[in-house]
Structure 1
């Protein structure tokens, strides 16, 4: 069975706007169950965005530290060639120079998520929505289209897994 690779906004948006940890415990129990079973995974760059970014609440960091094992966050060193292909794609795209620069920041998880999914065939889970006519920001769904990588949102993933909470 293919896995689902979750973006940092899977956690951040859920906690901030949709399923706050202190209110919707059942969502977070479901996330832990899916993580423990290996159904959902993430990458080292997502861990950096959650743990090392002071803009994120301590409650989310604490939850991740207490409920996700180190093995949940896969190392991306092995997908460098795919990352280079994404860099070349972004560099030759019609996005603004600023959009390209922001997208290709070394520790930004987005291109690395796609690079990892290219190597595994897994599906990316993100709250980002396709906006192909917007050129001021490169979004995960556009990169996924460019590299034939599947992406879904959280609800679509839960439906595919026949999960509820």
Structure 2
């Protein structure tokens, strides 16, 4: 069974738009359950993105996710180099700002692709981003995944694949 590597936008968009913490309690209980079962994980760069706002979502994550939920990306530098190599090879296609954002070592996108690529047979990215192969202003996670043969799904598809409901 695959392990699902969750992008920060899954948490942020769920909290802000669809599943507020105070209303959609069963959604967040399911996220917590899947995290403790090891079916979903994330990476340190996503943690940095979630833990920089000092808000209700950060408080929920700190209180409800297991200590080992956010994995260290130091071990995936070879895969990261491959992801960065792909992005640089597309530099004629993307605007400089898009490439710079994707290459920024403080941003999670390239690292989440690299972390998943490092064990792509057993890991799948969960993101709300959708492929935009003709876009020039942002490198989307799904476009990098398609190029590097990394699996990705949205949140609801992850729940379906896991046979979960809430």
TM-score by length of 2: 0.95
Q: Which residue of 2 aligns with 1:143?
A: 144
Query: Structure 2 CA distance, aligned partners of 1:146 and 1:12?
Result: 26
1:81 equivalent among 78, 82, 87: 78
- The separation in 2 between residues aligned to 1:126 and 1:114, in whole angstroms, is 11
RMSD over aligned CA atoms reads 0.9
Q: Runs ≥4 in structure 1, deviation > 6 angstroms?
A: none
Q: Which of the residues 57, 62, 70 maps onto 2:59?
A: 62
Pairing of 1:1-165 with structure 2 (within 5 A): 1-52=1-52, 54=53, 58-93=55-90, 94-121=93-120, 122-165=123-166
Structure 2, unaligned runs of 5 or more: none
Report how many aligned residue pairs link the two structures. Answer: 162
2:100, 2:15 → 1: CA distance?
28
Pairwise CA distance, 1:80: 0.5
Matches of 1:130 and 1:89, distance apart in 2 = 16
Q: What is the Cα deviation at residue 81 of structure 1?
A: 1.0
User: Aligned to 1:124, what secondary structure does the other structure show?
Assistant: strand
Instruction: Tell me the CA shift for residue 74 of structure 1.
Output: 0.4
Counterpart-to-counterpart distance in 2, 1:120 and 1:20: 32
Q: Alignment partner of 1:70: what SS?
A: coil
Aligned mates of 2:57, 2:153 — CA distance in 1: 22
> 1:70, CA displacement in angstroms?
2.1
Secondary structure of 1:71 counterpart: coil
For the residues of structure 1 that align with 2:118 and 2:79, how far apart are their CA atoms?
8
